[in-house]
């Protein structure tokens, strides 16, 4: 392109991944300056929105506090005055702007000392023709420092985009959405949409463009994910689990001490159907904390055993693997099923024996961490893989499972806490989804309270009352890697003050954290499980897995430092018995608005699905564990937290089209197919989930 030499082109590629015309066309502005309207100063009543004001600068004032220097200008119009503030580039501003001259300023007003001010606004002097040119929405693009130095600030990017439009016309921008969809949703053409997303002359055109491009993006993404699924169903054979035999029957009729909930039964039926279909199962099992996913996994491995297949159960941490191992062992006690544990700390001879037995088919269920998928771990006949807490397992790690047997084993993925539907559709869009939407009977909803550090004495009093009733208490401290030392100190200080407040011999306090030797951890845990200690002071090592029904109070220290799903996980450690349980979130008084909101949501809701939705809204898809490389964040314009409805439409339409024309060979799908082929090579492995 004219005006973009090799050096500039290279930095566009490096910094913003713009290599082609198509890339530039789809490098969308993230907002607009609304230059269609001038605000009068007395009309300003919002913060955080970019607006345009016309006025005269009446004075400059240089304020130097020693530490920071700032330049403040007063801008007046007939209705009032505002302040413009600069912290940088002061000399330049003083040189270019003049007193008693009229300017147009763009910026975001903020309220300070009861007055609106604009910090670092864009300022333009008034020329009649400029004013005319400026009477529309002008696009604002993300750029980087490096690019700004090469002339590609927001205006520079707008300039080359505009130039691009002068070189192409509507014929060059091919329409690839099927005509039926365009008609159905009254979508504008691709060319019009691209033009108007960059240079809309009014709000309506911009909205139409946005709707079309969001739909297009979601539709293409869904089409690709679903094609993957369809393709896999066609080409990948699955092992048949035809029989329900002695292992399943013995367990189900003689061992299982409770009745499965309807939701658990329904999920088992779904798994049964999958493993009888001749195709490989790829199923995501979602269920709230405590909804009983483990038992579903266990029964599934017994069905595999009845059909002479081995199973692998993978967990993200050693503690959780251990916990599953203990659960499986005790539930299968007395049955002829061999369950073994393989983690990083199983070494030497013990490890060798496990590997040998595994290869000989003597082990039925192998439970472990990542260690399970190392190349030298060879199964005799692996048929079923359960992955617990999916989101911490990398895509590559899962892909390794495919090489473990002649055909790919069935895969059941279980999430630790629910993930929002929209996110599930985007990252796990190729998996079938089962939901356990029901808790085992007899659970009382946990009462959650937020208390400030200053109310600690009252909280201690409450703990004493609960202990007098025979209950047990968890007190959890955050342990976050970056500040590990400090956190560790907090934990130890906390422990000491708890011991002081709850002295022996009336009380016994356990402590559990990651730095302890496994032996000591086990000891402390066992004391708590047996009820010999009443209080367990711990880090988040107890986040997953621990199951002590008599524990009825969960105190979370510095709760503002935890994410929502982590808080929900922690809270899920209580409320497992018949007693009323409590979760008390402790924090200082000075916490951020977002933290306050998070704690409020926790107090108001016990529903993991609802909490997951809030988490997504508060933090955005990029911040949710494990989704960074997943594609949910690779969306350029659609936002799964806001465009739920469009996403559902796009998914339904993609399904419908594939049902009709799986390979997109019909003439009306020709362009669609080409577009997907053209753009697929750049798309990464994220969609190839299991």
The residue ranges that bind ligand ADP (CB under 6 A) are: 258-261, 264, 287, 289-295, 440, 547, 576
Whether residue 372 contacts residue 344, with contact meaning beta carbons closer than 8 Å, is answered with no
Question: Shortest distance, CB of residue 439 to ligand ADP, whole angstroms?
Answer: 8
Pick from 57, 111, 50, 61: nearest CA to 86: 61
Residue nearest ligand ADP, CB atom distance: 292
Least distance to ligand ADP from the beta carbon of 422, Å?
Answer: 22
Is-contact 84 75, C-beta < 8 A? yes
CB of 288 to ligand ADP, least distance (A): 7
Contact yes or no for 161/28 (Cβ under 8 A): no
Of 295 and 553, which CB lies nearer to ligand ADP in the complex structure? 295
CB nearer ligand ADP, residue 439 or residue 624: 439
Rounded distance, CA 110 to CA 93, Å? 20
**Least CB distance from residue 614 to ligand ADP, whole Å?**
20
Residue 271 contacts residue 281 (beta carbons within 8 Å): yes
Q: How far is the CB of 572 from ligand ADP (least distance, A)?
A: 6
296 versus 303: smaller Cβ distance to ligand ADP:
296
Measured in whole angstroms, the distance separating CA 549 from the mean position of its chain's CA atoms is: 30
Residue closer to ligand ADP, measured from CB, 152 or 562: 562
Give me Rg for the CA atoms of the chain: 30
The SS3 assignment for 133 reads helix
Query: Which of residues 478 and 572 has its CB atom nearest to ligand ADP in the complex?
Result: 572
Nearer to ligand ADP, 264 or 627 (CB): 264
Q: In what order do the strands lie in the sheet with 339-342?
A: 339-342, 365-368, 310-314, 382-388, 410-414, 282-287, 432-436
Minimum separation from the CB atom of position 323 to ligand ADP (A): 9
- Rounded-to-integer distance, Cα 431 and Cα 670, Å: 27
Rounded to a whole number of angstroms, the minimum distance from the CB of residue 392 to ligand ADP is 15
What's the order of all strands across the beta sheet hosting 101-107? Answer: 109-112, 115-119, 80-86, 69-77, 51-64, 101-107, 122-125
Q: C-beta of 327: minimal distance to ligand ADP in Å?
A: 7
Rounded to a whole number of angstroms, the minimum distance from the CB of residue 499 to ligand ADP is 30
Q: Cα separation of 575 and 442, whole Å?
A: 10
Which residue, 289 or 339, is less far from ligand ADP as judged by CB?
289
Segment holding 415, helix H or strand E = none
- Which letter does DSSP use for residue 401 in this model? G
Query: Is-contact 161 27, C-beta < 8 A?
Result: yes
CB closer to ligand ADP, 196 vs 301: 301
Residue number with CB closer to ligand ADP (293 or 450)? 293
Q: CA–CA separation, 262 vs 532, rounded Å?
A: 36
Shortest distance in whole angstroms from residue 265 CB to ligand ADP: 9
Please work out, in degrees rounded to the nearest 5, the angle formed at the alpha carbon of residue 515 by the alpha carbons of 496 and 503.
Answer: 20
> Dmax of the chain from CA atoms?
93
- Distance between CA atoms of residues 418 and 386, nearest Å: 17
Can you tell me the distance from the alpha carbon of 504 to that of 553, in angstroms, rounded to the nearest whole number? Answer: 20
């Amino acid at each position: 392109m004219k005006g973009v030499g090799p050096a500039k082109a290279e930095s566009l590629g490096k910094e913003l991944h713009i290599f082609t015309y198509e890339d530039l066309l789809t490098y969308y502005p993230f907002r607009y300056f609304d230059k269609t309207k001038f605000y009068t100063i007395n009309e300003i009543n919002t913060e955080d929105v970019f607006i345009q004001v016309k006025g005269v600068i009446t004075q400059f004032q240089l304020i130097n506090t020693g530490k920071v220097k700032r330049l403040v200008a007063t801008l007046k119009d007939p209705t009032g005055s505002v302040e413009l503030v600069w912290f940088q580039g002061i000399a330049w501003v003083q040189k270019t702007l003049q007193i008693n001259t009229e300017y147009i300023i763009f910026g975001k007003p903020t309220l300070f000392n009861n007055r609106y001010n604009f910090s670092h606004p864009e300022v333009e002097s008034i020329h009649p023709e400029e004013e005319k040119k400026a009477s529309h929405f002008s696009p604002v693009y993300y750029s980087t420092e490096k690019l700004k130095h090469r002339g590609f600030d927001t205006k520079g990017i707008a300039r080359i985009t505009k130039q691009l439009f002068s070189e192409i016309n509507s014929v060059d921008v091919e329409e690839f959405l099927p005509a039926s969809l365009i008609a159905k949703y009254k979508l504008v053409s691709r060319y019009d949409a691209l033009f108007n997303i960059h240079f809309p002359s009014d709000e309506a055109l911009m909205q139409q463009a946005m709707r079309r491009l969001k739909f297009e993006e979601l539709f293409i993404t869904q089409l690709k994910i679903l094609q993957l699924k369809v393709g896999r169903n066609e080409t990948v054979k699955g092992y048949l689990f035809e029989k329900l035999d002695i292992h399943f029957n013995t367990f189900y009729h003689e061992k299982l001490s409770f009745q499965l909930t309807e939701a658990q039964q329904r999920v088992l039926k779904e798994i049964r159907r999958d493993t009888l279909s001749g195709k490989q199962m790829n199923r995501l099992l979602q269920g709230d904390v405590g909804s009983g996913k483990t038992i579903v996994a266990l029964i599934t491995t017994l069905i595999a055993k009845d059909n002479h297949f081995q199973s692998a159960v993978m967990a993200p941490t050693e503690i959780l693997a251990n916990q599953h191992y203990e659960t499986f062992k005790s539930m299968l006690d007395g049955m002829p099923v061999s369950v073994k544990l393989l983690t990083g700390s199983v070494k030497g001879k013990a490890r060798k024996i496990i590997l040998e037995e595994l290869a000989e088919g003597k082990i039925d269920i192998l439970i472990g961490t990542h260690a399970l998928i190392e190349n030298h771990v060879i199964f005799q006949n692996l048929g079923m893989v359960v992955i617990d807490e999916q989101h911490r397992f990398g895509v590559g790690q899962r892909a390794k499972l495919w090489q473990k047997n002649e055909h790919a084993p069935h895969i059941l993925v279980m999430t630790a806490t629910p993930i929002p539907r929209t996110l599930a559709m985007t990252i796990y869009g190729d998996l079938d989804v089962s939901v356990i939407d029901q808790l085992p009977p007899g659970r009382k909803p946990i009462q959650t309270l937020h208390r400030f550090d200053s109310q600690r004495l009252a909280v201690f009093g409450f703990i004493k009352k609960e202990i007098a009733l025979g209950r047990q208490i968890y007190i959890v401290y955050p342990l976050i890697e970056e500040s590990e030392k400090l956190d560790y100190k907090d934990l130890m200080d906390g422990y000491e003050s708890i011991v002081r407040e709850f002295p022996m011999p009336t009380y016994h306090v356990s402590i559990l954290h990651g730095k302890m030797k496994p032996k000591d951890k086990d000891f402390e845990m066992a004391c708590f499980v047996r009820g010999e200690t009443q209080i367990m002071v711990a880090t988040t090592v107890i986040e997953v897995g621990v199951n002590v029904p008599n524990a009825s109070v969960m105190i979370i220290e510095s709760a503002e430092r935890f994410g929502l799903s982590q808080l929900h996980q922690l809270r899920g450690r209580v409320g497992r018995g018949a007693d009323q349980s409590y979760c008390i979130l402790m924090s200082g008084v000075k916490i951020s608005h977002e933290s306050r909101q998070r704690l409020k949501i926790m107090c108001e809701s016990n529903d993991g699905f609802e909490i997951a939705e809030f988490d997504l809204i508060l933090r955005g898809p990029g911040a949710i564990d494990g989704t960074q490389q997943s594609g949910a964040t690779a969306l350029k314009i659609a936002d799964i937290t806001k465009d739920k409805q469009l996403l559902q439409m796009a998914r339904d339409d993609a399904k419908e089209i594939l049902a009709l024309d799986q390979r997109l060979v019909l003439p009306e799908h020709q362009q669609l197919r080409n577009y997907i082929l053209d753009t697929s090579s750049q798309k990464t492995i994220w969609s190839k989930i299991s």
